[in-house]
A and B are shown apart, each in its own frame.
Chain A
Amino acid sequence: MEINILTLCYLIGSITFILGLKMLSNPATARRGNLIAAFGMLLAILGTIFLYRDDRGNRLHNYGWIFGGILIGGTIGTLAAKKVKMTAMPEMVSMFNGMGGACAALISIVEFNRLINDLSFTINPRLSDLTLVSLKTYLSKGELLIILIGLVIGSISFAGSMIAWGKLNGTIKDYSFKGQHLLNLLFLFMILAGIVYLMIDISKGFVLVSGVHITTLHWVKSIFYGVFAFALLYGILFVMPIGGADMPVVISILNSFTGVAAACGGFLYNNKVMLTGGILVGAAGTLLTILMCKAMNRSLGNVLIGSFGGGSAAAAKKQQGAYKEITLSDAAVVMAYAEKVMIVPGYGLAVAQAQHACHDLEKILTDRGVDVKYAIHPVAGRMPGHMNVLLAEADVSYDQLEEMEQANEEFPSTDVVLILGANDVVNPAAKTDPSSPIYGMPILDVELAKTIIVNKRSMKPGYAGIENELFSAKKTSMLFGDAKKVLQDLIAEIKQL
Chain B
Amino acid sequence: MNSFLSWITTNQQMIYIVILMIFIGIEVIGRVPSVLHTPLMSGANAIHGVVIIGAIIVMGKAEPGNYLALILGFLAVILGTLNVVGGFVVTDRMLEMFRSKSKNQKARSK
Please report A residues at the B interface, Cβ cutoff 8 Å: 13, 17-18, 20-22, 24-28, 30-31, 33-35, 37-38, 41, 44-45, 48-49, 52, 54, 58-63, 65-66, 68-70, 72-74, 76-78, 80-82, 84, 86, 89-90, 92-93, 95-97, 99-100, 102-104, 106-107, 109-111, 113-114, 138, 141-142, 248, 251-252, 255-256, 258-259, 261-263, 265-288, 291-292, 295, 378-379, 383-386, 388-389, 392-393, 395, 397-399
- Across the interface, which residues of A come within 8 angstroms of B94, CB to CB? 89, 389
* A33 CB to nearest chain B CB (Å): 7
Known: A27-B36, A287-B25, A385-B38. A262 touches B54 (CB 8 A): yes
- Across the interface, which residues of B come within 8 angstroms of A24, CB to CB? 29, 32, 36, 39-40, 43-44, 91
**Taking each of B43, B100, B101, B102, which has the highest tally of chain A beta carbons within 10 Å of its own beta carbon?**
B43
Known: A52-B60, A251-B41, A287-B26. A281 touches B47 (CB 8 A): yes
Let me know if B58 and A107 touch, CB within 8 A: yes
* B66 CB to nearest chain A CB (Å): 8
Known: A266-B14, A384-B34. A66 touches B77 (CB 8 A): yes
Residue tally, chain B, CB below 8 Å to A:
85
Let me know if A265 and B51 touch, CB within 8 A: yes
Cβ of B99 under 8 Å from chain A: yes
Q: Which A residue's beta carbon lies closest to that of B6? A: A138
Let me know if B14 and A284 touch, CB within 8 A: no
Q: A271-B57, A288-B32 are in contact. List 20 more A-B contacts (CB 8 A).
A: A25-B33, A34-B39, A34-B92, A41-B49, A60-B61, A66-B56, A69-B59, A72-B81, A73-B80, A76-B82, A77-B86, A82-B93, A89-B90, A96-B82, A110-B62, A248-B38, A263-B18, A273-B50, A285-B41, A392-B97
Let me know if B40 and A80 touch, CB within 8 A: no
Known: A45-B52, A100-B48, A110-B73. A287 touches B3 (CB 8 A): no
* B38 CB to nearest chain A CB (Å): 5
* A240 CB to nearest chain B CB (Å): 21
Let me know if A110 and B69 touch, CB within 8 A: yes
* B107 CB to nearest chain A CB (Å): 9
Candidates A30, A58, A268, A277; contact of B50 at CB < 8 Å:
A277
Q: Which B residue's beta carbon lies closest to that of A394? A: B97
* A398 CB to nearest chain B CB (Å): 4
Let me know if A107 and B47 touch, CB within 8 A: no
Q: B58-100: contact bitstring with A at CB < 8 Å (1 yes, 0 no)? A: 1111101000111011111111111111111111111111111
Let me know if A20 and B47 touch, CB within 8 A: yes
Let me know if A77 and B81 touch, CB within 8 A: yes
